[in-house]
Chain A
Amino acid sequence: MTSAAEQTRSDIVAMLPRLRRFARALTGSLADADDIVQIAVERALMRMDQYQQGTRLDSWLFSITRNAWIDEARSRTRRGKVFAPAEAGEQVGYGGEAEVHTKLEADDVWTAMRKLPEDQREAVALVCVEGLAYREAADALGIPIGTLTSRLARGRETLQVMLGGAR
């Protein structure tokens, strides 16, 4: 016997790996990513009555995750806390897991993504990293599809310039 809410909960659990991937692309930080995924999951469960069975759960969750990140970024600005993403070498010396994390966050692609303006980064994360169709990505962000495509195009061009042809 599985209730609709219980089914949705299982589906949310199953979405966790993809939510983490999206949140990493969005925040450029492993720790921030997991923090906002946790906030997003808690919010999603609080608002399960707002989720319409049969509609795309992933778009709904991406939207909540993205809003959680916007709120977090705003509250950091309010608190006057400087948002400083990990740069290469900053945390070297901890060894083990911390070192692997630093290496990953210092990857060229992560660094370039962090430098993108927020609106372009979220478009790139949904379409290029998560593989959403333009329509779905636009709905998740609550913007017209034309706005989505122009942000996406600008984001990609900027990434292309920053990353160049280097591999």
Chain B
Amino acid sequence: MSVDNEKLMAFADGELTGAERAEVEAALEHDEALRARLEAHHHMGARLSSAFDGALIEPVPQRLAEAAQTPRQAEVIDFATRHAAKWSVREWGAMAASVAFGLVVGVGVMQQPQPMLVTADSGLTAGGALTQALDSQLASDTAAAVRIGLSFRNQSGGFCRTFDLTAGGASGVACRSESGWSIPLISGSAGGGEVRTASAPAEILNAVDQMIAGDPMDAEAERAARDAGWR
């Protein structure tokens, strides 16, 4: 019982180092109840990120982008050098994506709760618990933060999977690439919460129809592809 709540929390958040960390790791090895408490921490972290990560993929309202572009008194001098041209929304988006990517990569501490959706230069990609689920979870597994739907091969032969985030109400399609799972489509308009049915929203299914080569994989093919690391 040497690991109190605050210490376990600090461990789960990647805040412990050296002897303290080793102590918790050792206790975890033989203490099943402690492992369950750690799992609860991770589960809570995943729920929190899936509930709020939508803000990262939604377009930023015009008024906010404008507020950030309007000169203020305190910086009048600096604005002598300012470009005359206004930025387009597309440029803002690209900037947001590249900087967000840098920030996410910077938080690479083990055990740190990771956002499930990450904006990269190449577009939206999976992170944290979503990557984990896409890598290893089967459609038949009990859904935790992520529920896996269909797995299929797209027309260029790559593996793709549909998923639901159980809190926060987003559904999407992820396709395996060299560097991880890219997300060509995500829909934030699904119901969300526990009462959702297992069926993906029509928008996602339509996209699958456009992308799929042949039939969706059955349970056996899904398991084999998972075991082979989606390669």
Contact = CB atoms under 8 A, between A and B. Distances in A.
Interface secondary structure of A, over-half rule = helix
Interface in A69-109: 100, 103-104, 106-109
A66 B169 CA distance: 26
A110 B60 CA distance: 20
A68 interface: no
Contact of A41 (B40, B52, B64, B98): B64
Secondary structure of the B contact surface, majority rule: helix
Contact of A18 (B48, B79, B100, B145): B100
A21 B5 contact: no
A146 to B, nearest CB: 9
Interface string A100-135: 100110111110010000000000100111010110
Interface string A1-29: 11111100111111111101100110000
A43 to B, nearest CB: 9
B9 interface: yes
B64 A45 contact: no
A72 B169 CA distance: 29
Contact of A17 (B43, B55, B81, B145): B55
B47 A109 contact: yes
B18 to A, nearest CB: 16
Interface string B182-201: 00000011011110000000
Contacts, number: 171
Contacts of A37: 64
Give the interface residue-count category, chain A.
35 or more
A129 B6 contact: no
Contact of B72 (A14, A18, A42): A42
A83 to B, nearest CB: 20
A47 B109 CA distance: 32
B60 A17 contact: yes
B5 A128 contact: no
Contacts of A113: 51
B69 interface: yes
A159 B40 CA distance: 11
Contacts of A159: 44, 48
Interface string B1-37: 0000110011001110000000000000000000000
Contacts of B129: none
A63 interface: no
